[in-house]
Amino acid sequence: MHVLRMLIGLALLFGAGLAMSAEDEPRPGEIDPSAVVQAVPGMPDRGVTKETVRQRLGDPIRTVPAVGDPPISQWVYDDFTVYFEYNRVIHSVKNRKHDAQ
């Protein structure tokens, strides 16, 4: 009886693991975020420090203080925004340009 319970438990864990990995995969027609190529030349790569970003790009136009846990902050430049977790780049995103009306 104990062996049967253990086998059922393992089967449930294995099934849950398959369901989780399937959810992590992009669906047809969706873009895999890890495969996105930089849209703006000069955007910093993931893992670069704030000091390196400042040396390469200069001071940002605006900074957004860190929020959350882990703390996420933003540096806004003309064409893109750089997101930091603690002191390292986690993502860079092209800024939307608003048309003058």
- pLDDT digits over 34-61, tens only? 444 445 788 999 999 999 999 999 999 9
Strands 72-76 and 80-85: antiparallel
pTM value is: 0.59
Residues β-bridged to residue 72: 67, 85
Strand order, beta sheet including 88-94: 62-67, 72-76, 80-85, 88-94
pLDDT digits (tens, 9 = 90+) for 9-35: 555 555 554 444 455 555 655 555 544
Contact yes or no for 53/92 (Cβ under 8 A): no
Annotated domain spans of the chain:
2-94
Phi, psi dihedral angles at 12 (to 5 degrees): -65, -45
pLDDT at site 101:
45
- What fold is seen in the domain 2-94? Beta-lactamase Inhibitory Protein; Chain:B, domain 1 (3.30.1450)
In this prediction, residue 62 has a pLDDT band, given cuts at 50, 70 and 90, of: very high
